[in-house]
Structure 1
Amino acid sequence: MATTSTLSNIQLELLRVYSRHVSDEDMVAIQKMLATYFSEKAIHLADEVWDKNGWKAEDTGAFLKEHNRKSKAS
């Protein structure tokens, strides 16, 4: 049975750009750049939610004390 998998647009782009061997040093640098990009994007989105809700620094203490886990059914 044949299995098909579809590559994402970023995977295809990276395959095109890096169709040649890159050094381990370059690979680490690229991984760091990607991690930085996605972490900054997540922070920006979190900041938007924070601002939209009008939360203040004082609210962080309340967030830390919240218990949001659901108990397992016995």
Structure 2
Amino acid sequence: MNDIKQPLSDVQLEILKAFSHNLTDEELKEFKETIGKYFADRAIQSANKVWDEKGWTYEDVNSMLQTKMRKSKK
């Protein structure tokens, strides 16, 4: 059996330190929502950057929504 040990990332270590005690159900829910919002905000920022770089308009996006852009696997 291959046992590949990978160290924890800096983020994982900080989260472990910060939450070395049990959270209430409400605290855990808030934590999950905060993490989700953080990553959602980052995704929105990335999408906005591409939008601006490409100079897209709402008409462009509507056109993309009507176009099949995925290629099927065969």
Give the TM bin, normalised by the shorter chain.
Answer: 0.7 to 0.9
Q: Give unmatched runs, 5+ long, in structure 1.
A: none
| Structure 1 residue 13: Cα displacement | 0.6
Q: Is residue 2:10 matched to residue 1:13?
A: no
Aligned equivalents of 1:5, 1:72: Cα separation in 2: 33
Aligned positions, number: 73
- What residue identity is the alignment partner of 1:9? D
* Range with greater deviation from structure 2 (46-55 or 58-67): 58-67
Aligned equivalents of 1:59, 1:5: Cα separation in 2: 44
Hey, what does 2:27 align to over in structure 1? 26
Hey, what does 1:59 align to over in structure 2? 60
- What residue identity is the alignment partner of 2:68? H
| Structure 1 residue 8: Cα displacement | 1.9
Aligned equivalents of 1:21, 1:35: Cα separation in 2: 20
RMSD, aligned CA: 1.6
Aligned equivalents of 1:2, 1:64: Cα separation in 2: 45
Q: Give unmatched runs, 5+ long, in structure 2.
A: none
> Percent same amino acid among aligned pairs?
37
| Structure 1 residue 2: Cα displacement | 7.0
